[in-house]
A and B are shown apart, each in its own frame.
Chain A
Amino acid sequence: MTRASLSGGPDGSVRAAGAVAVPTSAARSSRWRSATARRLTFGYLLLAPAALYVLLLVGAPFLFSLWLAVSDANVGEPVAHFVGLENFRSAWEMDTFWIAMRNSVVFLVVAAIFKSLLGTSLAFLLLQDFKGKKIVRGLVVIPFTLPVAISVLSWKWMYDSQFSVINWVLSRIGVIGGYGSESWPVWLGQPGLALLSCIAVNVWRTFPFSAIVLLAGFTAVPLEVLDAAKVDGCSFFQRFRNIVVPMIFPILMIGFLFDTVFTLSDLSVVYLLTQGGPGNASKILPVLAYQIGIQAGNLGRGAAIALFLVPLLLPAMILVLRNIKRREW
C-alpha cells in the first residue's frame, strides 16, 4: 500500500525531468529521454485509476479503522473522540471476546487439519489417470464454487433440529434414538456441537480448494526428475519427501495461507448457521465484530475487535508476500 502511494511521486518528477531534458545535451539523448519520460507518464496514467481506487477504498479505510478503534465512534453520533486504548481494554476484559478468540483458533486449527487430510488424499486420487476425470473434478469442486451464503443454507436445512436428513439416516441405522430422545443431536442448538457443525461446513466448502492447489503443485513436478530418482533406487516415500515436497512447498504455503486468511475472517458460515449461538458456543471474532460494530452500533469497539485478527493474520500475510516475491518475471 505504501509503495503504491508513491506512484504519484515519480510520475510528476519524471515529467519534469522530461521537460528539462529537451533543451539540454545532444538531440539523440534528449529524444531518448523524452521517449522514456513519455512511456513512464503513460504508464503511471494507466496505473493511476487502480492505484487510486485501492488507496481510497482499501488503504484509507484501513487507516480509518485504526482511528475508529481508538475512538468512541458510534452509529448515532457523528463526532467521535479519542479514547486511547479503551476499546482494546474493554474487549480484553470481555468474557465473550476470549470465547470468540478461542473459538476462532479452534475453528482454524481443526478445519485446517481436516481439509488438509481430505485435500491431500483427493489430490492423490485426481492425479491418477482415469476416464471421466474432468467430470469428477468438476463435480468435486462444486462446494468451493457455490456462493457461500447459498450453500450454507443447504447445510442449515440438513442440520434442521427435527427434519435433519443426517439424523434420519443415523436414526435408521440405529446410531441415535428417535426424535425427542436423549441421543437425538440438535446440531446447531447444542453447545458441544454447534461449533463443530460450523467447522464441518467450512471443511466441506474448502477441501476442494486444498485439493486443486495441491494438484496444481503436483503436476508442476517434472516427471523426468521423478523417473531419474526411481532409476537411482529411491523409494516412493523418499521421492515424495525429497523431491515432491520441496518442489511443491511454495505453492503449498500460499494455498495454506490464503485459506487461513479466508477462514479466519469469514463470518458467513457461522453467522448464517448459528449467529454464534447457542449462547456464545460458536461465536468467532468476525461474528462478534459484526454484532458489536453494526448491530449494537459501537463502531469503535467493533473495529478494535476486528483488528485483533491482525496479529493472527500478519504472519500469514508476510509469508504470502515472501512467496509471491519469488514469482518469476
Chain B
Amino acid sequence: MAAPLTEKQKSRRKHVLIYAGLTPYLFIAVFPIYWMLITAFKHESDLYVMGNVPFWFNLPPTLKNFNTLFYQTNFGSWIVNTMTISAWVALITLLTAVPAGYALARLKLPGAENIGIAIFLTYLVPSIILFLPLSRVVATLDLQDTWWALVVVYPTFTVPFCTWLMMGFFKTVPMEMEEAARVDGCGQLGALVRVVLPVSLPGILTSVIFAFTLSMQDFLYGLAYVAPGDQKPVPVGVPTELIRGDVYFWGSIMAAALLVGLPVAILYNFFLDRFIQGITGGVVK
C-alpha cells in the first residue's frame, strides 16, 4: 500500500527532477572549462596517446605548461598590455559616459531621449563594418602595431553601452537629494560632484567592469591592428602566437585560457544581470 507523499517527499522528488533536468546543461556549459583545466596540467606525452582515458591524469600533473607560457612566450607582456589597455579604456569611458549619462538623464535637455537612443544604437554598429575605416584612422594617428590603437578603438563600444547604463543609474537617484544640495548652496557642478556621483558609485564601478570585460571580448580589432608579438592583448596573443603553423601548444594554450578566461568569466558573472538590464533597456522593471 503506497502511503500518500508527505510535503518533504514531494519537495525531494521535485528537486531530483529539477537537478536531473539541469545536469545536461551544466555538463555542456562546464565541460569545456574542465577540459581546459585538465589539459593545462597534463604532460605533453599524456595528451597525445590515443589509448589513454583522456578524462584524468595518466601521468602525474605538471606545471610545465605554465612555465613555458611565462618563460618562452610573451604571455607576461600580453597580460600587462590587456590590463593597461583596459585601464585606459575604462578611464576614457568614465570621463565621457558618466557626464553624458548624467546630462541625458537629469538635465531635461530637449531631445535627450532620442540622443540617448542614438548613442546606444551605435553600440549595435558591428565592428566588422567599422574595422576597415578605423584601420585608416589608426594609420593616420600612427598607432598601428601598438596596443594604443586598441585604446582608441575599444571606447567605440564601451562609451555607448556605458552611457546608456549610466543614464539608467542616474534616473534612480532621487531628484530631491540634488535639489537639497542646490538649496544648501552647491552649484550645478557641485551638486553633481558632491551628491550625485558618490551615491552613483556602484554604477560607476559597473561601467569600469564593463569597460574591462567588453574589451576582453574583442578579437577582431586586436587581430587587425596589432601585429607585433609583444604588443598584443591576451585574447589575440594566445591564439596567434601559441599556434605556429600546424604546431599547437595545447597544454600552454589551455593554461593561458584558464589563467585569463576564468577570472574574467567570474567577474563578468557578477555583473551579468546589469548587462542584460542594459541591453533590454527599461523593458524589465
Instruction: Identify the A interface with B (CB < 8 A).
Output: 1-4, 6-7, 10, 38-40, 42-44, 46-47, 49-51, 53-54, 57-62, 64-65, 68, 118, 121-122, 125, 128, 130-131, 136, 138-155, 157-158, 160, 162-163, 165, 168, 179, 204, 208, 212-213, 216-217, 219-220, 250-251, 254-255, 258, 261-262, 264-268, 271-272, 285-286, 289-290, 293-294, 299, 302-303, 306-307, 309-310, 313, 317, 320-321, 323-329
Contact = CB atoms under 8 A, between A and B. Distances in A.
A254 B159 CA distance: 20
Interface residues of B, number: 105
Contacts of A121: 21
B84 interface: no
B107 A130 contact: no
B107 A147 contact: no
Interface in B243-269: 248, 250, 253-254, 256-257, 260-262, 264-266, 268-269
| 9 residue pairs, one from A and one from B, having the closest CB atoms | A265-B126, A50-B100, A43-B107, A46-B99, A145-B268, A61-B133, A149-B235, A327-B282, A64-B133
Main secondary structure of the interface of B (DSSP, over half): helix
Contacts of A265: 126-129
A60 B4 CA distance: 71
Given A147-B217, A149-B219, A290-B131, 4 more contacts: A50-B159, A51-B115, A118-B25, A299-B136
Contact of A140 (B25, B55, B236): B25
Given A51-B100, A138-B269, A130 B188 contact: no
B118 interface: yes
Given A46-B102, A50-B159, A118-B25, A213 B121 contact: no
A168 B25 contact: no
Contacts of A165: 35, 54-55
Given A153-B238, A321-B117, A147 B260 contact: yes
A39 B107 contact: yes
B240 to A, nearest CB: 9
Contacts of A204: 28-29, 32
Contacts of A162: 48, 50
Contacts of A60: 133
A313 B126 contact: yes
Contact of A47 (B109, B156, B260): B109
B124 to A, nearest CB: 6
B30 A139 contact: yes
Given A54-B159, A268-B220, A154 B122 contact: no
A140 B26 contact: yes
Main secondary structure of the interface of A (DSSP, over half): helix
B217 A317 contact: no
A139 B29 contact: yes
A250 B285 CA distance: 12
Contact of A163 (B50, B99, B134, B153): B50
A220 B284 contact: yes
A125 B109 contact: no
Contacts of A140: 22, 25-26, 29
Interface of B: 14-15, 18-19, 21-22, 25-26, 28-30, 32-33, 35-36, 39, 47-48, 50, 54-55, 92, 95-97, 99-100, 102-104, 107-111, 113-115, 117-122, 124-137, 152-153, 155-156, 159-160, 163, 171, 188-189, 213, 216-217, 219-220, 223-224, 234-236, 238-239, 248, 250, 253-254, 256-257, 260-262, 264-266, 268-269, 272-273, 276-277, 279-285
A53 B110 contact: no
B235 A42 contact: no
A53 B155 contact: yes
Nearest to A249: B283
Contact of B285 (A46, A148, A220): A220
B100 to A, nearest CB: 3
B109 to A, nearest CB: 5
